[in-house]
Structure 1
Amino acid sequence: MKKIYLDNAATTPILTEVIEEITVAMSTTFGNPSSTHQEGRKAKSIVETVRKNIAKRLNASASEIIFTAGGTEADNLILRNAVVNLGVKTIISSKIEHHAVLHTINNLIKEFDINVAWVDLDKNGDIDYAHLESLLKKDDAKKLVSLMYVNNEIGNLLNIEKVGELCVLNNALFHSDAVQAVGHFEIDVKKTPIDFFVASAHKFHGPKGVGFAYVKKGFGIYPILHGGEQEKGARAGTENVHSILGMDKALQIACQNLQNDTIYIQDLKRYFIQELKVNFNEIHFNGFSESETKSSYAILNVRFPKEYAMLLFNLDLKGISASGGSACQSGSNKGSHVLNTILDENEAKKTSVRFSFSKFNTKEDIDMVIEVLKGLIV
């Protein structure tokens, strides 16, 4: 049975070139980057070279890149520092952020005397920018805006330039979970007014367990992990040298092939939308996921006309990997917090499936998925 993987927003297959890079590094570069002997200096040189490489691709400075174990740790590091170190008294966010942000904010509320304001959303999950501006102007408290670059469930694209400009005009800090954006969209920190964002290598065909935080020059970062002076004191713990190298290789390939990959994957998504519309009645696309301009080219969130409790399970039996957006599919009694926020109760109960694409998918894959869905959606 052929297997079709359409859950790339969850994680991506590791590129062969990345596996080779990691394998060689594990065999030849075993030194601790904090050691002063030759093997340690060799490992340290690799880590710092990667830091420079990643910074160059973002038009950043090497000192602005902090290596972490992934996006979740990087979000925690930035949000906690905003409150503890940078004097933030009000966090402005949305209720459809990734849990790496929402759960961190909830814990900060319990620990510190801070206010949290939730920006209004429309029925598609789009930010009400006028409301955001009013929240920024509400008082003189030091504020941080935390809004994700690409929503991981519905693919909505944030108007990152507009949010950045509003933050600059109102003297607020701006943090974005960019896990679904780095490696998929061009990011130039000199052109986009953003203070902090995070990335995770496994979202762009790199290894799991490694990522980075971008912290704009001038903001001192205190560690949330203690026990060493690694990462210029921002993160204790021996650097994951071979995974850092793998992340560098994956991002290098992603950036080199960005234009061609974008065109190819966007065409796949367009074809899938077309085939879904032709073959099924009364389907809808959650958020802006149908749009080519307001959504990620790699994410499509489909809402079917009723509840199909076993749909994801049956897709899996047929070798098709995708993700769900309702309680019956996720194993959660609460379902998708994103869909529960933007849909009314009746629509949220219907089965939604997130299909997310990569350059390894084909139109033949799409055709097979459509044929399988024909037998399941009745």
Structure 2
Amino acid sequence: MKDDEKRAVMDLPEEILAYIFSFLPLRDKYNAFTVCRTWSNIMTCPSAWTQTEVRCDSEASIPENFSAFLPLVRHLKLSVSVTEAASRETGLWVLRQAFSGGDGRLQVLCVNCLGNPPLFYAGQDLLQGLVDVLTDGSSLMELDLRGVPFTLSDAFVKGVAALCPALRRLFINNNSLVCGVVAETVREVLKLCPALNTIGLFQASLSQHVFQDLLSPQQSALKRLELRCERSLKYATPIRDQTWAEVRRRHPALVVDLELDHTLPELHVPAVLQPSIPVRQLRLLTWTWLLDEVRLVGQSYANTLEALEVQTTPSPELNDALVALATQCTKLQEVHCYCVVSTEVITAFRTHCPDLRRYTLKTRKEQHPWTYTSLR
């Protein structure tokens, strides 16, 4: 950074610097704390701690003199290495500090696990530790467990919902191999958390009874459903299109984000992609022959689809289907296709989708991971 740029930063008002510092991970906050006396004083402002990311692994230590500030955090992203017991214990210590005082400051908690867990380790210490630090009547408004690789049980989800009745956003659609939450648990969560308006689930956790609860006049307005569709759907009753249409009328602002996992059998894909679902984001990660599905997406979700991700096999027929989809789904902001496509496909999306911000469309194979093209 040049001297004049440094002076410009130093001359910013303290409240603006505190806001900027609030987005820094914990280690970077500490580095800013040691720059000068002015920045050190700014780092003691509660607004500098509104959003904080804490990483607990063997390569990152937590400054002891910062523990007093953790109760000031309102939005906490906690990344914990599950490889080492010491890192997991540090993560639990951070949680205890963040929840200490009982003043209801912590509103958003995102837990993310790093590394490969030990053999037969099911994350019980982390999950039970989370339940232990939650207090009855907690003001936590969002809990994001999408980065937790362990199976979440009915007892755990019910316990969290009972301790956090103010929850508005709950994400339990993690990358576990097994869906451990049944429909009755989802119904219980809806009762315990009446303000809930955003839910991330395995679709196998839904049922006709859950949708009846969502249609109830007492149910708060639902804004977003994030659904992970995987092999558990083989044993679930498909949700009828008529049911989706009723939910859409009851919750007109609802958007649905769908992820179809590679473990979902191909024959179950059409039952998931019901035409009346207000799909905003769609991830087709099945690696199957998706021609019919791509055509269906263009026909059914033209008025709602904003982001599309496809993993499939390249073919001239797929190119034609993608070109047709581009002319139909003109509200797309992102499209990512992880197979080789023709130049006509790229031209179609860039021509017909004026809001397109970025895309991953390759005309020849490249070394993975493929990088996306940003338009703005």
TM-score bucket of the superposed structures, by smaller chain: under 0.3
Greater share of strand: 2
**TM-score, structure 1 length as denominator?**
0.25
Higher relative contact order (CA 8 A, sep 6+): 1
**TM-score, structure 2 length as denominator?**
0.25
